Amino acid sequence: QQKAIDAKPKKISPDLFGIFFEDLSYAADGGLYAELVQNRSFEYNPADNRDWNSMTAWKYQTDGFGYGTISVETANPIHQNNPHYILLDIQDAGQKGVGLENGGFDGIPVRGGKYYNFSVFLNVISSQPLPLTVSLVDTKGRELGTASFTASAKGWKKYSEKIKVNFDEDSAMLQLLVKSPGKVGIDMVSLFPEETFKNRENGMRADLAQTIADIKPKFMRFPGGCLTHGDGVANIYHWKNTIGPVEQRVEQRNIWNYHQSVGIGYYEYFRFCEDIGAKPVPVVAAGVSCQNSGGTWKIGSTGQKGIPMEDMDAYVQDILDLVEYANGPVTSTWGAKRAAAGHPAPFNLEYLGIGNEDKITGVFEERFRMIYDAVHKAHPEIKIIGTVGPSPNGEDFDKGWKLANQLAVGTVDEHYYEKPEWFLKNTSRYDGYNRLNSKVYVGEYASWGNTLFNALAEAVYMTNLERNGDVVRMASYAPLIARIGHTSWNPNLIYFDGKHVFPTVNYYVQQQFASNAGDEYLPGIINFTSADTTAGASCVKDSVTGDVILKIANAGSTQLFGTANLAKLGKLAQKATFTIICGDAKVANTAAHPAEVLPKTTVINMPKQWKFTVPAYSLSIVRIKAG
């Protein structure tokens, strides 16, 4: 067995540090997706969450003493994939009109002077044209901005209006009011800020997207872990359901007890990856759901442990089609759909994940092999990432590895959430991994918490991931973002509410590692002269810029002393940027105190023999340009 050899410089993965986006904790709807209306398509239902239905987040608005009837209908919808809509039959529009009001996700935050893009699908059933207003109002009913229009078309038609907002309000509501008697179907009521990330249509919330982009991740795994394979075969995420016009997508129950509008679908995920310079790493279910949970695949087929074998060929074809959707020419069936969505150029898909923390049974293996063989045969250029069970101590972990090595799967996705002490004790985890076997993607890892100590334990561990960057090809902290008040999982890398984004200390650690990555590991450069059981250091070179980067992580309670011998690294600049993250070990960045620990950057002189003292509880990053 070949072990990690630290004596000589070695090539390490250029894609080591990335991010993992899962639609949990309102990461997509009510999160990264800039849509401000909640339940815009009236598709919420009790299967999502037992208290939910088509009217969740909506109110029937008759404040001006108008009256009529409101009902949820399914006959003659916009599209069969989007069956529910509202039917208003207004007898008297009263003084203000009759219609609907939406409170967004915990209120709609709007800014004075900004424009918002409103759209709605209407089907006017009565013979008279219908005048409507759409307004943003505050909690006291004060109008913040409004627009008027007339709907006359029979059959579903999209109407779009721009609303200029005149005052700031954190908790606005959107009101759509019909101003005269009549009968109208209403669906897909939507409001986006005019500014989205990179000004994309159907785009991402700018501040949140920018915070993610600032990590400079090398890749993004999506659309989730458990979300991908669902809690039953009926809940498996199918990428084809998530592309095309938003009003025609197939919405779905979210395994984390809410709803997926799939407004962010595969097109938007690929486009976002491109916009932030991250390689896309989609993950598809391996033909089984969480822990082979089974359930109903289609009417009449219950008790399946995985997708029924007679449907596996079609499922495998879907995955091959995904590769074509991402990379195929515009003349191909699925490449043409990508082009029609606005992206004729390929998305340069390089990686594909199959499975997530699965139970490694015969049912799994049979299906995994089918998918693996088919993708490998049709697309040898795609790097496949296999899976192992959820815990490094569980039998599905070992079984998963055994299968991956047998099949020579390029990379295996390992996950672990542990105490910070575990990360400090397990720094040599990958030293003994056989370099001739499948490589590693640490697809989800985090220590249980967001204090500086947690982040530093991760930093120490990450210096060792770099040291093993020949076998650990990729790593992503998990999960990426969580909406305060709706978190399904802790810890997360970034917290947010409707208006603010709160990067954790762990975020700054990830950012420092991802934006200061290298592709060559230089051993023996950094030596500690004091006890180092709670510390880690690494030295890497970025061959593109020629820059040398030193990282020194100290999760201990005392100062750390050492030297960095740069003499053998060729000509380097005499000055370097020095970034430090340090503070009280127990402190975390929270909504109330968002900036307790932030990185600070200065310029320092860089002698060939650098004697350093770094503070207790700190991460120091030194970036030295080629001279």
Alpha helices in 479-547 (DSSP H): 505-515
Is 357 a residue of the active site?
yes
Q: Across the strands, what pairs with 565?
A: 609
Residue nearest to ligand AHR according to CB distances in the complex: 225
Nearest distance, CB of residue 67 and ligand AHR, angstroms: 47
Q: Of 357 and 458, which CB lies nearer to ligand AHR in the complex structure?
A: 357
Residue 225 touches ligand AHR, criterion: CB under 6 A: yes
DSSP state of 2: P
Residue 500 Cβ vs ligand AHR, minimum distance, rounded to whole Å: 23
Q: Using omega within 30 degrees of 0 as the cis cutoff, is the peptide bond preceding 491 cis?
A: yes
**Distance set, CA 626 to CA 57, 283, 520, 549 (Å):** 56, 38, 14, 11
Cβ pair 477, 445 in contact under 8 A: yes
Under the criterion CB under 6 A, does residue 363 sit at the interface with ligand AHR? no
**Minimum CB separation from ligand AHR for residue 536, in Å?**
24
Q: How many residues bind ligand AHR, per CB under 6 A? A: 12
Tell me how far, at minimum, the Cβ of 393 lies from ligand AHR, in Å: 14
Q: Which stretch binds ligand AHR (CB under 6 A): 137-145, 213-221, 223-231, 333-341?
A: 223-231
Is residue 357 near ligand AHR by the rule CB under 6 A? yes
Give me the least distance between CB of 25 and ligand AHR, in Å please.
Answer: 9
Q: Which is nearer to ligand AHR, 169 or 358 (CB)?
A: 358
E strand segments, 274-336: 279-284
Q: Which is nearer to ligand AHR, 187 or 414 (CB)?
A: 414
Q: Which of residues 17-76 bind ligand AHR (CB under 6 A)?
A: 22
Query: Least Å distance between CB 27 and ligand AHR?
Result: 10
Three-state SS for 586? coil
- Asked whether 520 and 9 are in contact (CB, 8 A), the reply is yes
Instruction: Quote the least distance from Cβ 479 to ligand AHR, whole Å.
Output: 4
From 357, 414, 458, 466, active-site residue: 357
Distance, in Å, from the CA atom of 482 to the CA atom of 32, rounded to the nearest integer, reads: 10
DSSP codes of every residue in 129-195: -EEEEEEEE-TT--EEEEEEEEE--SS-EEEEEEEE--S-EEEEEEEEEE-SSEEEEEEEEEEEES-
Residues 91-120 within binding reach of ligand AHR (CB under 6 A): none
Q: Applying CB under 6 A, which of residues 83, 193, 224, 556 lies at the interface with ligand AHR?
A: 224
- Residue 191 lies near ligand AHR (rule: CB under 6 A): no
Q: Based on the shown chain and the rule CB under 6 A, indicate whether residue 226 belongs to the binding site for ligand AHR.
A: yes
Beta strands in 391-477 (DSSP E): 411-418, 439-447, 472-477
Contact with ligand AHR (CB under 6 A) among 145, 479, 503, 518: 479
Closest CA to 457 of 398, 506, 507, 392: 506
Per CB under 6 A, which region of 222-230, 303-311, 432-440, 552-560 contacts ligand AHR? 222-230
Q: For ligand AHR, which stretch binds (CB under 6 A), given 95-103, 177-185, 220-228, 393-401?
A: 220-228
Q: Please give the residues from 366 up to 405 whose contact with ligand AHR meets the rule CB under 6 A.
A: 390
> Considering the rule CB under 6 A, would residue 172 count as an interface residue with ligand AHR?
no
Do 17 and 510 form a contact (C-beta atoms < 8 A)? yes
d(CA 308, CA 339): 33
Closest residue by Cα to residue 410 from 468, 486, 352, 371:
352
Fill in the per-residue mask, 435 to 454: x = in contact with ligand AHR (CB under 6 A), - = not in contact.
---------x----------
C-alpha 23/C-alpha 36 separation (Å) is 17
Question: For ligand AHR, which stretch binds (CB under 6 A), given 219-227, 300-308, 329-337, 523-531?
Answer: 219-227
- Residue type for 45, please? N
Per CB under 6 A, does 478 bind ligand AHR? yes
Dihedral (Cα; 262, 267, 273, 279), 10-degree rounding: 120
DSSP class of residue 199?
G
Residues 6+ apart with CB under 8 A from 552: 526, 535, 536, 537, 560, 562, 612, 614, 618, 619, 620, 622
| Residue 28 Cβ vs ligand AHR, minimum distance, rounded to whole Å | 14
Site residues (CB under 6 A) for ligand AHR?
22, 224-226, 356-357, 390, 415, 444, 478-479, 489
| Catalytic site positions | 357
